[in-house]
Structure formats: C-alpha cells, structure tokens
Amino acid sequence: MSDAASLQELVQFLRDKNPQVRQIALSHLLPQTPKGSPHRDLFYAGLSGGGLKKKQENDLIRDIKILCRDQLATAHDAFRALVNLTDNSLLVGSLSEVQFMKFVVSYIINYQAVLADLASMLLSNLTASASACSVLLNLTIPILPDPKSPLGVFPVDSRSGTCGAPVPYPAGEPKEVLALPLLVDIFVKAALVSSDTDREQRPFKGEMHFLASVFANLSAATTGRTFFLTPRSSDPFGEDASAGVEYPLSKLLAFTEHKDSIRRGGVAYAIKNCAFQASAHRALLSEETEMVAIPPSAATAPGINIIPYVLLPLAGPEEFDLEDQEKLPDALQFLPPSKKREADPAVRLTHVETLLLLCTTHWGRAWLRSHGVYEVVRALHENEEVERVAEHVERLVNILKRDEGKDTVRDGEDLDAMSRKEEDDEDSRIEEL
C-alpha cells in the first residue's frame, strides 16, 4: 500500500476501537515518515509556516500523539513516527503543546516506561527549537510519592498502555513540581546501571542517553543556563530540610568520559554553553569544598569543579615533570600508559572551546595556569591531527603561555579582544550549541 489515496484512507483506522486495526494502520504509515519518503507530505497537510492553528491541529499528527499512549507495538511506531517527522519545524507547535509535553516528560521519568529512550529522542529533537525549550524550562508535572520508584516519585501523567500505575496506587493529592530536575535525576541514575544488565532486571527500562542532547539544547539559551547554574535542593517535593543543595550542572560532569558518545557529547556541549556565562566562572572552577555564589544571586552551593572533567578527555598518556604533575587535579596525575584521548574530534573541540571561554577573565586564566591546564593542552597540541581542533588548541596554548600586561588583567574582557592579533574569521569563533 504505497499510493497517496490508499495511505489517506488508513488515517481513519488510527482511531478504530480494535487495537490490532490501529497497529496495522500505523505500521503502513510509518515507512512514509523518514526524510525523503515519497508521501511524507501527508503528515504536514494543512500546516503553514506560521505553525499549527490552536485547537485545529493536523488530525493525523493528533492521532499519532494519542497512539503514543497505546499498547507496545503501536506506541513504539507512534514514537518512531514523531521522531522521524520532527526534522520539520512545522510540527514543533503541536508537539511542544503543554499537555503532550507533560505526557512525554512524565513518561521518561517513569522508571517502568519501556519506550523511554524513544521518548527521549523525541524530546531531544523537539528542544532543537527555542519555543520547545521555553515550554520545557517552565514545565511542571504532577507527581505522587512512590517508594518503589528509584526516583521516589510517580509521575501521574505517564499512565499509558506501556506504563501502568503503581499498585497500590499512591495516596494523597498530586503535587505540581518542576519537571527538569527530575529529568536530570533519571539521566544520572539510569547510567549507574550496567548496560549489560538484563532489561527485565534494570531499575530503569531506558538508558536515557538522549537526555544529554536535551540538556545541551536547553543550555544554549540564557534561561537554560540559569537553570543549570542555580542551586537546587535534591528533594523534588521540597519538604526535606536536610537535603543538600547543588548546581544541577555538577550532576552531569561525570559523563564526559562515558562510553556512549551521545551522552558524553551532549554533556560536553552543556558544559561549554554554561561557560558562556562569565559570572559563573568562579563557581565552574572552584572545588566542591568551597561554597560559591553566581552573581547577581547570593545563593551559594558547592563549587562545580569542571576542570578535571574537561581536561581528562583531552589528556593522553604523556608523563610530566613532578613539578607539573603536582599542578594537575588528582584525577589527572600519573595517568596510565593506556590512557587515550577523546576519539570524537567534535567533542575534543568542544572541551577546548570551554577552556577558551574560561580564559575570558584574568582570574580564569590565572586559575587555569596554576592547575596544569597549559601542560595538558600543550601535549594535546603536539598530538592533535585534526586541523580545526589544532587551530583552537594553538590559540589556547598561546593565551595561557603569554605574559599578562596591564591591558589584559581586566576581568570580563572579550575573548576576541584578547586575541585581536589573530585572524578574525569564522573558524576562530566559538558558537553556542
């Protein structure tokens, strides 16, 4: 069944009372959702450049959104269809609508959601849009306490054919809480389980790697950076007075060396994007033993201490003089001969750009020099074979190696002003991702 008229006839069966009929209809439509499919326009019928009209969205997309809550085979195809279709901005308005976003985020947060990774992919694609990011940053979801959940919560709106309610059902009235801290928590906790563990034995059904891309997308905006750089309690209900506070970004750092490239790449981009905020540099560089505030806020939390996590992917097996070794963070001292650098040149470049951003203040440059950053990037410069990465590494080496004069000691100076002697071209700019 491949002609447009026949496919159009299938749409009505997406609402059939028989679950088998719904599944078969969607399975015939799914092959038309990837980019380049001959009848892909069917899914965009009635949409315009201005987005979907409120309360008059495309019936086909509305039906597929509903089918994400269906039984396993149907819900799987529904999520896949939406993931395939979200490369077109015309769908952003419909798919970032608050009620649907509440379902998608609640579904990801539910530890029993067997399609959580597909839902994470969908959220990753959606947050490539600024409007979807805005919705997610302000999104609240209803939760109830659930001692069976590794997160301790049951997200009420997650109920669906692939994600049932706990038994017995939690007592009390649901409480609306900000969704994003819970996404960070499940991103962290899902990674603590070995991927070799049988899916049925895992506390979470998904690995949640694509949430790293969500965090990277969110942190590209000032409001997103504000979330990651604002101290928060670890208690989602806000009722535990003994719960400590921390910067949400600090929870992501451990994954710069994760074996999954999507997870470690997304985290690298999120760190870099947060480094665009110069007022946060002291908090980003300070160790966890120091309580630091990020102006203009007076709220303090333990330092984020990003340098070990940024430098380790850039470090190789090189040995340094004892004096230079002592400058390095503990995690980088006396690395084994088997130590390898980050294999992905785009991720290496991202970490180098993070260090360049931290050089935009005199205080930051002095801190980097005193903690062995120059020694590590000098060794990287000697071994880097990718021209674009090597150019940025050389720029960083020159900044850290040079002597400081009266014209360079002003905090907050612009990076391009520091490097005004360099050629000002596209390749020397650092862009938010």
Number of H helices and number of E strands within the chain? 20, 7
| Cα-based distances in Å from 70 to 77, 163, 412 | 10, 10, 53
pLDDT tens digits, residue range 80-138? 999 999 988 888 888 999 999 999 999 999 999 999 999 999 999 999 999 999 999 99
The pLDDT assigned to 390 comes to 96
pLDDT tens digits, residue range 160-185? 999 989 999 999 999 999 999 999 99
The pLDDT assigned to 89 comes to 85
* Strand, helix or coil for residue 47: coil
The pLDDT assigned to 332 comes to 87
Q: Provide the whole-model pTM.
A: 0.90
pLDDT tens digits, residue range 217-273? 999 999 999 999 999 987 777 666 667 899 999 999 999 999 999 999 999 999 999
Mean pLDDT of 276-287: 96
In the predicted structure, residue 49 carries a pLDDT above the cut 70: no
What is the length of the chain? 433
If one counts every other C-beta atom within 10 angstroms of the C-beta of residue 237, the result is 14
If one counts every other C-beta atom within 10 angstroms of the C-beta of residue 235, the result is 16
* Strand, helix or coil for residue 246: strand
Under DSSP, the state recorded for 273 is H
CA–CA gap between residue 257 and residue 104 (Å, rounded): 28
In the predicted structure, residue 197 carries a pLDDT above the cut 70: no
| Cα-based distances in Å from 153 to 13, 22, 144, 199, 234 | 36, 32, 6, 21, 13
Domain-wise residue ranges, the chain: 1-89, 306-433
